[in-house]
Amino acid sequence: MNTPHVVLAITGASGSIYGIRLAQELLKSGARLTILLSRSGGAVLKSECGLQWEGDEATVTRRMREHFSAGADRLSHYAADNLFAPIASGSSAPDSFVVCPCSMGSLGRIAAGISGNLIERTADVMLKERRPFVLVPRETPLHDIHLENLLKLSRMGVRIVPAMPAFYHGPRSLEDLVDFVVGKVLDSMGMEHRLFTRWGDMKREW
């Protein structure tokens, strides 16, 4: 079987740590990974995770590969304004696409079919090609436009996995809470993981 090609877009919602953790797990799974980063995604990533993934496409690619200790055969990056990237065409659509975290801005533009940058265009490609697409929205509270956009995409087959950690698996740390959300994203992509203990497999202490 060919190595699956997964594209991960990190947009400007709080919770860039979810995207970073997801990238680690996807690389660990053996997938070929392409990471896209919106301009706001880069700013939030710097503010919340201290990663300076800003600059031209080559610089950001190098920093990503250094961060994940991944070679060119495993990890790629295209600038958000690079609409010449292969994934901008349905003829080179990836096997799956995940937007994690997804801002309400990107959500709205994807739901409206704007295709104004590579993240939105890749989303459009996945929708038109009916390929696996997972979206991890992060905002609270949600207003009617957010909810309508989520419903619209859900009805088109997009898996909506809100960044909503649970507490039934006995989390002890921030990492446990992050891993729960990332594990649910991997579940939605049909990928195996051991990021949290499933209900029924737990040793209860009460």
Q: State the residues that interact with ligand FMN by CB under 6 A.
A: 11-14, 38, 40-41, 43-44, 47, 103-106, 138-139
Least Å distance between CB 103 and ligand FMN? 4
Cβ-proximal residue to ligand FMN, closest one: 12
* 146 versus 193: smaller Cβ distance to ligand FMN: 146
* 24 versus 40: smaller Cβ distance to ligand FMN: 40
* 34 versus 38: smaller Cβ distance to ligand FMN: 38
Identify whether the C-beta of residue 171 lies closer than 8 Å to the C-beta of residue 165.
yes
Say which residues have a Cβ less than 8 Å from residue 203's Cβ, sequence separation at least 6.
Answer: none
Cβ count within 10 A of residue 57: 15
Least Å distance between CB 132 and ligand FMN? 21
CA 91 vs CA 41, 82, 116, 128, 189: distances in Å: 27, 17, 19, 11, 21
Q: Rounded to whole angstroms, how far apart are CA atoms 141 and 146?
A: 10
**Three-state secondary structure call for residue 55:** coil
Least Å distance between CB 168 and ligand FMN? 24
Least Å distance between CB 1 and ligand FMN? 33
